[in-house]
């Protein structure tokens, strides 16, 4: 697939979504530009680059200066904030975007950030606009935010992907572009290309190392020590994307090993190299040069991933962030680096998986933790491909591998007519990713606060739950389970679509996906087996009676959010365990009139 084909396909998917939303009367984001922004932001989150995003379009002026954002992503601890600003062409042909125009677009977001931080936007924002809560959060939490980024998202192609940092109110703001070419690279399975570090540029020198080349092996080996400050900076820049191949996420400072790391950082930083087991990294490319004393040095890595040592990396970052007395200038971290040579992507990924598996084997990690090819996903993909909707002409699509839907469209849609027929048979709105299934499944299972963590965090929790209790789903998966699963998806989407219409905006100002999640959990809690999911599957929709009931319950959930934490971001409040306890204890009106999907009252 070429970049031009990808651009055409992405645009076609977007226009299909717009048409569907216009037909359904859904808002408040039916325009091409905002649907494009929503699709890109969701992709950025799924790639692990940012937290779950919120579409929030606002523009204004202070004097002659234009301020604008299209969306944002705020971390759960409110210490990292990403703003998104669009530069949208909306043309059939692929356009180039000048670096100067990209930075001008980014400046609109940077100005918004500055004005929000200084409190000068408070009086300029409509009290009913969802952005007001973000403005209040920026102002109140400014001292705690330690990572700020502004993304320019565009359907054009930009030469530069990362620009010079901007200073805002004594803080540095990273400026990046997420253009169509960067999206294409991700879809082609090459997101690791973006993870690169030049030690010469970062610390002014190459790292002394031992290099062991082997012309007969599918990898080379290097051994070095990386400055702790650089480890912190890499985590600050790339976040958990740096740990993508690591099979465990940050476990917190309460674990014994992590407490030991923190203790060493505080009291004996110069002994960190001696006390710590270090990191295991894989990379796609490496460069070497001579150091000042004439010895060999490691100067550059590209496509790097930490496959062992995620706890060390995370603890260095979070402990130095939370305790400003920790000095990383004397901390060195031992590192073993595997430089991949295999040219075939599948072979490279297999080697990475095995390195990750065996490097972590001292902690009794199960092979099932490496979930890419788990039976659950293969069986679900097979069911999706082989199960037709009741009309016999359409079906749902389970995207087990990222970009599989686009690959299918391009492979089988060899003519415009075939491509159109494919999208009628499997429309984009019926495409489900692994994270989607985790969201819909766990919402029904009564885990709305977990679902609110979004993306990979909820997916990891879902996979862990399957390991702990395999009876959560049948083994193997069967057609009845699949039809019920799709019915839950339909129910979720019906609620979300209903509360996002223009008319509903007067009641539901923000947090649509969170409200839908909680309503689904309430439905499962209150109705459970009484709800005829097979009927929803057969209808591929819900009755007007059930729709009225869901609307009433959504209004109650929304009111409860506003009562629990007035003025706060629903996306953050939804993550708290006690929020679900309070919503669950709320009184919901029982179904009044006959609803066909309810078996008995």
Question: Percent of the chain having pLDDT more than 90?
Answer: 27
pLDDT of residue 18: 81
pLDDT at 460 over 50: yes
Assess if residue 592 is contained within a domain: no
Rounded Cα distance, 15 and 8, in Å: 11
Structural domain span for residue 470: 376-401+427-584
Residue 244 has pLDDT above 60, yes or no: no
Q: Is the pLDDT at 250 greater than 50, yes or no?
A: no
Amino acid 367: pLDDT: 33
Query: Can you give 205-248 as a three-state secondary structure string?
Result: CCEEEEEECCCCCCEEEEEEEEEHHHHHHHHHHHHHHHHCCCCC
What are 213-243's pLDDT values in tens digits?
888 888 889 999 999 999 988 887 777 667 7
- Asked whether 362 and 311 are in contact (CB, 8 A), the reply is no
Residue 599 lies in a domain: no
Q: What is the predicted pLDDT for the residue at 167? A: 82
Name the 3-class secondary structure at 332: strand
Asked if residue 412 belongs to a domain, the reply is no
Q: What is the pLDDT of residue 514?
A: 87
Tell which wins on pLDDT, 140 or 407.
140
Is residue 417 included in any domain, yes or no? no
446 occurs within a structural domain: yes
Q: Which of 153, 171, 189 is the last residue of a domain?
A: 189
Note the pLDDT tens digit of each residue in 345-399: 555 556 666 666 555 554 433 332 345 457 888 899 999 999 999 988 899 999 8
In degrees rounded to 5, what are phi and psi of residue 289? -155, 170
Q: Please tell me the least confidently modeled range out of 300-304, 344-348, 471-475, 524-528.
A: 344-348
pLDDT per residue over 61-73, tens digit each? 888 889 999 999 8
**Gap between the Cα atoms of 42 and 19, Å rounded:** 19
Q: Give the whole-angstrom CA distance, residue 557 versus residue 582.
A: 10
Instruction: For residue 381, give the H/E element and its range.
Output: helix 375-386
62 compared with 482, residue with greater pLDDT: 482
Bridge partners, residue 174, by sequence = 149
Residue 369: what pLDDT?
Answer: 35
Closest CA to 507 of 562, 579, 565, 588: 562
Residues 330 and 213 in one domain: yes
401 exposed, middle or buried (CB, 10 Å; 0-12, 13-18, 19+)?
middle
Residue range 491-544, pLDDT digits in tens:
999 998 888 877 777 787 777 888 899 999 999 999 888 889 999 999 999 888
The average pLDDT across 252-258 equals 50
Question: Which residues have C-beta within 8 Å of that of residue 314, sequence separation ≥ 6?
Answer: 235, 243, 249, 250
3-state secondary structure of 362: helix
Q: Are residues 340 and 253 in the same domain?
A: yes
DSSP 538: H
Same domain, 104 and 175: yes
Number of helices (H), then strands (E), in the chain? 23, 18
Same domain, 238 and 149: no
Residue 248 has pLDDT above 50, yes or no: no
Q: 537: which residues sit within 8 A by CB, 6+ positions away?
A: 390, 483, 484, 486, 487, 490
Q: Which of 29-38, 284-293, 343-352, 459-468 has the lowest mean pLDDT?
A: 343-352
Check residue 196 and give its pLDDT: 83
**How confident is the model over 568-597, as pLDDT tens digits?**
777 778 888 888 999 888 888 888 778 888
Query: Is residue 183 located within the same domain as residue 211?
Result: no
SS3 label, residue 558: helix
Same-domain status, 482 and 549: yes
Res. 246: pLDDT tops 50: no
- Count the helix, strand and coil residues of the chain and give each as a percent rounded to the nearest 5: 50, 20, 30
Residue 277 above 70 pLDDT?
yes
Nearby residues of 405 by Cβ (< 8 Å), 6 or more positions away: 397, 399, 426, 428, 431
Give the pLDDT of residue 318. 82
Q: Answer yes or no: is 414 within a domain.
A: no
**Do 156 and 94 form a contact (C-beta atoms < 8 A)?**
yes
Distance of alpha carbon 242 from its chain centroid, rounded? 14
Residue 589 lies in a domain: no
Q: Between residues 5 and 250, which one has the greater pLDDT?
A: 5
Element of type H or E holding 346: helix 345-359
Residue 220 φ/ψ region, left for φ over 0, alpha for ψ in the -120 to 50 degree band, beta for the rest: beta
Residues 241-257, mean pLDDT to the nearest whole number: 50
Answer yes or no: are the C-beta atoms of 78 and 34 closer than 8 Å.
no
Is residue 468 domain-shared with residue 562, that is, in the same domain?
A: yes
* pLDDT 10s digits, 101-154: 999 999 999 999 999 988 888 878 887 788 888 888 888 888 888 788 999 999
The residue whose two tokens read 């992709």 is 43
Cα(317)–Cα(304) distance, integer angstroms: 18
CA 380 to chain centre: 22
* Between residues 99 and 407, the one the model is more confident about: 99
Structural tokens at position 180: 């169509």
* pLDDT score, position 375: 80
What total number of domains does the chain contain? 3
Q: What H or E segment, with its residue span, contains residue 553? A: helix 544-564
97 to each of 104, 175, 180, 291, how far by Cα in Å?
11, 15, 11, 39
Same domain, 171 and 244: no
> Residue 211 has what pLDDT?
93
The three-class DSSP label of residue 35 is helix
Specify the range with the lowest mean pLDDT, choosing from 23-27, 258-262, 362-366, 519-523. 362-366
Co-location of 226 and 150 in the same domain: no
The answer to whether residue 458 sits within a structural domain is yes
Q: How confident is the model at residue 270 (pLDDT cuts 50, 70, 90)?
A: very high
Rounded to whole angstroms, the Cα distance separating 590 from 441 reads 24
The CA distance from 398 to 433, in Å, is: 6
Percent of the chain having pLDDT more than 70?
Answer: 87
Domain check: are 134 and 183 in the same one?
yes
Q: Are both 171 and 281 inside the same structural domain?
A: no
- Based on the fold, state whether residues 259 and 176 are members of the same structural domain: no
* Cβ–Cβ < 8 Å for 148, 171: yes
Q: With the CA atoms of 315, 319, 322 and 325 taken in that order, what torsion angle do they form, in degrees rounded to the nearest 10?
A: -160
């Amino acid at each position: 697939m070429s970049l031009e084909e990808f651009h055409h396909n992405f645009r076609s998917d977007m226009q299909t979504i717009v048409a569907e939303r216009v037909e359904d009367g859904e808002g408040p984001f039916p325009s091409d530009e905002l649907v494009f922004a929503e699709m890109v932001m969701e992709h950025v989150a799924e790639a692990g680059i940012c937290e779950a995003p919120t579409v929030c379009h606002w523009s204004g002026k202070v004097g002659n200066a234009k301020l604008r954002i299209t969306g944002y992503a705020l971390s759960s601890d409110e210490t990292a904030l990403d703003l998104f600003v669009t530069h949208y062409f909306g043309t059939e042909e692929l356009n180039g975007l000048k670096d100067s125009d990209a930075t001008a677009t980014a400046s609109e977001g940077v100005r918004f950030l500055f004005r929000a931080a200084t409190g000068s936007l408070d009086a300029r924002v409509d009290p009913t606009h969802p952005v007001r809560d973000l403005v209040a959060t920026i102002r109140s939490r400014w001292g705690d935010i330690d990572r700020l980024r502004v993304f320019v998202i565009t359907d054009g192609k930009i030469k530069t992907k990362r620009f010079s940092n901007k200073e805002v109110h004594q803080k540095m703001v990273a400026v990046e572009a997420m253009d169509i070419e960067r999206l294409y690279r991700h879809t082609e399975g090459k997101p690791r290309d973006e993870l690169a570090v030049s030690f010469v540029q970062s610390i002014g020198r190459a790292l002394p190392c031992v290099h062991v080349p082997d012309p007969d092996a599918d990898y080379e080996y290097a051994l070095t020590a990386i400055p702790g400050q650089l480890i912190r900076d890499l985590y600050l820049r790339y976040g958990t994307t740096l740990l993508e191949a690591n099979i465990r996420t940050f476990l917190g400072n309460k674990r014994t090993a992590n407490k030991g790391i923190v203790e060493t950082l505080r009291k004996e930083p110069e002994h960190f190299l001696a006390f710590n087991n270090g990191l295991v990294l894989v990379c796609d490319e490496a460069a070497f040069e001579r150091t000042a004393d004439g010895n060999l040095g490691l100067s550059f890595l590209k496509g790097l991933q930490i496959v062992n040592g995620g706890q060390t990396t995370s603890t260095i970052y979070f402990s130095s962030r939370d305790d400003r007395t920790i000095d990383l200038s004397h901390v060195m971290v031992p590192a073993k680096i595997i430089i991949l040579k295999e040219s075939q992507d599948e072979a490279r990924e297999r080697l990475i998986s095995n390195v990750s598996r065996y490097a972590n084997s001292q902690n009794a990690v199960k092979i099932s933790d490496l979930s890419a090819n788990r039976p659950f996903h293969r069986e679900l993909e097979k069911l999706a491909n082989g199960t037709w909707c009741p009309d016999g002409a359409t079906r749902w699509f389970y995207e087990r591998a990222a970009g599989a839907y686009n690959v299918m469209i391009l492979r089988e849609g060899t003519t415009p007519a075939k491509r159109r027929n494919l999208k009628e048979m499997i429309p984009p709105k019926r495409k489900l990713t692994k994270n989607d299934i985790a969201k819909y499944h766990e919402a029904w299972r009564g885990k709305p606060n977990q679902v609110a963590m979004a993306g990979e965090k909820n997916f990891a929790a879902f996979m862990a739950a399957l390991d702990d209790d395999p009876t959560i789903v049948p083994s193997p998966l069967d057609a009845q389970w699949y039809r019920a699963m799709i019915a839950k998806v339909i129910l979720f989407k019906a609620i979300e679509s209903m509360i996002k219409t223009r008319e509903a905006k007067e009641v539901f100002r923000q947090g649509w996906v969170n409200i839908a999640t909680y309503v689904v959990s309430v439905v499962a809690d209150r109705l459970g087996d009484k709800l005829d999911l097979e009927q929803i599957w057969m209808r591929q929709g819900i009755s007007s009676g059930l729709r009225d009931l869901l609307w009433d319950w959504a209004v109650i959930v929304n009111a409860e959010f506003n009562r629990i934490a007035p003025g706060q971001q629903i996306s953050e409040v939804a993550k708290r365990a006690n929020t679900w306890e309070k919503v669950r204890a709320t009184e919901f009106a029982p179904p009044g009139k006959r609803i066909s999907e309810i078996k008995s009252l």
